[in-house]
Amino acid sequence: MVDVRIKNVEESDADTLLSEDMSFEGSMKVSRPAMIKGKVTGQIESDSNLFIEKEADVKADVKADELSVKGNLSGTVQASVIEMGSSAVFSGDVTARSLAMESGCTFNGTSHIGAAPSALEPAAEEAPAQEE
């Protein structure tokens, strides 16, 4: 068995910080690395890295380039790369090119790994062939 190691991130690695004493409700769009330590409810879209730290409680649909989760996250997630640390508690659906989970994390939901999100959408139903 491979031992997964999630990289440690410092506040200085993020251009945007939502600290422990802050809460946000609504739609958030960031284009540079962002770190969440507080509470977020709604939608988060990131063109860069998104770090959800141990103290965080996030109930949101998330789209990000790279996502690191060490806190609580509930929602639908689409990202290129997702890392879940040992303290992560996730509930929802994940679509990603790759997913790494440390021993001890909690994952309740479904995952679609290795394919682009557009490839995972259900195909339109075809009409049955008619006999001639």
Give 10-residue mean pLDDT values along the chain (132 residues): 67 92 96 97 96 97 96 97 96 95 95 68 48 51
Torsion from C-alpha of 91, 57, 60, 102, nearest 10 degrees: -40
The pLDDT of residue 115: 64
Instruction: Output DSSP code: residue 104.
Output: T
* Helix, coil or strand: residue 123: coil
The pLDDT of residue 125: 46
Report residue 119 as tokens: 């490839």
Yes or no: say if 93 and 108 are a contact pair by the CB < 8 Å rule: no
> For strand 72-84 and strand 106-113, is the pairing parallel, antiparallel, or unpaired?
unpaired
What length does the chain have?
132
In this structure, the number of other CB atoms found within 10 A of the CB of residue 49 comes to 21
The pLDDT of residue 9: 84
19 phi and psi angles, rounded to 5 deg:
-75, 175
Would the pTM count as exceeding 0.95?
Answer: no
